[in-house]
C-alpha cells in the first residue's frame, strides 16, 4: 500500500526527474539543516575522517557519530572519546547515545552537548545483542515507559542547548508494530525529530525495508516534528522513492554511503528535480580513498589507519570496477607508503584485472545504529 507521499508530483515519464514537495531544509528544534539528507551512525564506519569525506562531496545535512556509550564518555575511555571526536569542519554533527538508565543517558547527553554535538540522538533501533542485552537500542521498544522517561530526562538535562532526537525500528517482532504509536509519545516527551528504520529487530537487516511501516509513523506524528526514513538506500533514486512512498521529511543513508560518499550530492539533486552530476572520474575516486587514508593518519595513529583502510578498501573499490589486485595490494600493505604506492600504481594502469573478476561480497558485520 502506498504511503501518504505516493502522489507527490513528477512528470510520470520513465526516467524523468521527479519534483517532490518536501521540506527542503529540516528544522530539528532550534537547528536548521541545509538539506534533508543525513549520514547514519554506522557502527565501526562513521569515524571523523569518513564524515568529513562525505561532507566534502556536498548534499549532506547532518552526519552522525558512531554509537556512543554514555558511561564510556563519562569515564573518558579512549574508545568512546575517539568515536565522539569532532572538529569545526564536522558540523552539524549528531552524537547518538545508547543505554537504558535515564540519569546516565542525561549525563551523557550533557557531555555530548559540551563537546561539540549539534544534536543528541537516542538510539532505540540497534538490534545487536551486546546492546539489547543491556536493555538499550531496540530493546527500548519493549519498554515504552522507560523510553519516554529517557527522552524527558535527556531533554530536561540539555535545557534547550541542543535538540534531542530518537532513532527507532518499527518494532521488536514482525507483525507487532510499535513505532507508530510510540513515536507520538516520544514527541510529546520532547523529541525534536524521529528517524525510523523500516525493519523490526527480528528482521535485523534481512528482507526489504517497509515503506508502509515508515508511512504509518509519518501519519501518526502528523507533522508535529520531522520524520526521517532509513533503510535500503543504496542509490540516489532510492532516496526519491523513500520520500515519495512514505511522505517522510528526510532520509538517513547508511551503507549506501560507504562505497559512494557522493550519494548525498546526487540524491539532493534528484530531490530538487535537477540532473544528477557526473560520476566522479577514476582519478577523483582514488583521490577520495587517498584523502580518507590521509585523514585517518592525521586523526589517529598509523596502526589504526592501516587497519581501517584494509577494511574499507572493498567498499571504496565497489565503484572502481574490476580491481582485485588493488584490493589485495592495500590489504597486504606493510605501511602507509605501500598503500599510497598501490593507489598511484592503479592510476598508472597497474593492479587491474585482466580476466573477469567475480565481485566479492561486502562485509556483513557492520550495522547501522
Query: Taking the CB of residue 364, how many other CB atoms lie within 10 A of it?
Result: 7
Q: How far is residue 311 CA from its own chain's centroid?
A: 18
* One-letter-per-residue 3-state SS of 45-56: CCCHHHHHHHHH
Residue for cell digits 525529530?
193
Assess whether 126 carries a catalytic annotation: yes
Kind and range of the H or E run holding 102? helix 102-114
Q: How far is residue 266 CA from its own chain's centroid?
A: 16
Q: Write b or e for each residue in 328-342: b if 16 or more Cβ atoms lie within 10 A of its Cβ, otherwise e.
A: ebbeebeebeebbeb
Cα distance between residue 227 and residue 215, in whole Å:
9
Catalytic residue among 54, 64, 126, 323: 126
Cα distance between residue 312 and residue 242, in whole Å:
27
Cα distance between residue 327 and residue 302, in whole Å:
19
* One-letter-per-residue 3-state SS of 257-299: HHHCCCHHHHHHHHHCCCCCCCCCCHHHHHHHHHHHHHHHHHH
Active site residues: 126
Amino acid at each position: 500500500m502506498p504511503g501518504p507521499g505516493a502522489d507527490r508530483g513528477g512528470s510520470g515519464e520513465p526516467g524523468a526527474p521527479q519534483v517532490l514537495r518536501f521540506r527542503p531544509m529540516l528544522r530539528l528544534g532550534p537547528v536548521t539543516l541545509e538539506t534533508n539528507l543525513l549520514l547514519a551512525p554506522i557502527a565501526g564506519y562513521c569515524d571523523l575522517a569518513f564524515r568529513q569525506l562525505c561532507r566534502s562531496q556536498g548534499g549532506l545535512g547532518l552526519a552522525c557519530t558512531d554509537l556512543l556509550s554514555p558511561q564510556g564518555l563519562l569515564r573518558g575511555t579512549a574508545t568512546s572519546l575517539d568515536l565522539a571526536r569532532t572538529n569545526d569542519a564536522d558540523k552539524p554533527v549528531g552524537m547518538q547515545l545508547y543505554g537504558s538508565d535515564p540519569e546516565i543517558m542525561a549525563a551523557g547527553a550533557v557531555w555530548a552537548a559540551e563537546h561539540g554535538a549539534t544534536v543528541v540522538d537516542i538510539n532505540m533501533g540497534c538490534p545487536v545483542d551486546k546492546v539489547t542485552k543491556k536493555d538499550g537500542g531496540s530493546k527500548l521498544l519493549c519498554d515504552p515507559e522507560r523510553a519516554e522517561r529517557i527522552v524527558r530526562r535527556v531533554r530536561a538535562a540539555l535545557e534547550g542547548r541542543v535538540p534531542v532526537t530518537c532513532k527507532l525500528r518499527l518494532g521488536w517482532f514482525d507483525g507487532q508494530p510499535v513505532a507508530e504509536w510510540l513515536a507520538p509519545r516520544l514527541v510529546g516527551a520532547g523529541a525534536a525529530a524521529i528517524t525510523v528504520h523500516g525493519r523490526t529487530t527480528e528482521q535485523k537487516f534481512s528482507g526489504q525495508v517497509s515503506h508502509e511501516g515508515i508511512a504509518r509513523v509519518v501519519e501518526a506524528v502528523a507533522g508535529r516534528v520531522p520524520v526521517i526514513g532509513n533503510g535500503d538506500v543504496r542509490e540516489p533514486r532510492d532516496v526519491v522513492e523513500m520520500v515519495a512512498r512514505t511522505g517522510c521529511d528526510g532520509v538517513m543513508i547508511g551503507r549506501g554511503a560507504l562505497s559512494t560518499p557522493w550519494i548525498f550530492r546526487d540524491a539532493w539533486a534528484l530531490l530538487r528535480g535537477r540532473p544528477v552530476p557526473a560520476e566522479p572520474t577514476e582519478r577523483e575516486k582514488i583521490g577520495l580513498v587517498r584523502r580518507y587514508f590521509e585523514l585517518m593518519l592525521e586523526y589517529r595513529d598509523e596502526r589504526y589507519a592501516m587497519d581501517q583502510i584494509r577494511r574499507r578498501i572493498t567498499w571504496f573499490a565497489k565503484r572502481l570496477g574490476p580491481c582485485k589486485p588493488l584490493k589485495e595490494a592495500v590489504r597486504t600493505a606493510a605501511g602507509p607508503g605501500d598503500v599510497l604506492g598501490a593507489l598511484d600504481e592503479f592510476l598508472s594502469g597497474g593492479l587491474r584485472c585482466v580476466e573477469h573478476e567475480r565481485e566479492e561480497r561486502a562485509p556483513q558485520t557492520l550495522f547501522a545504529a
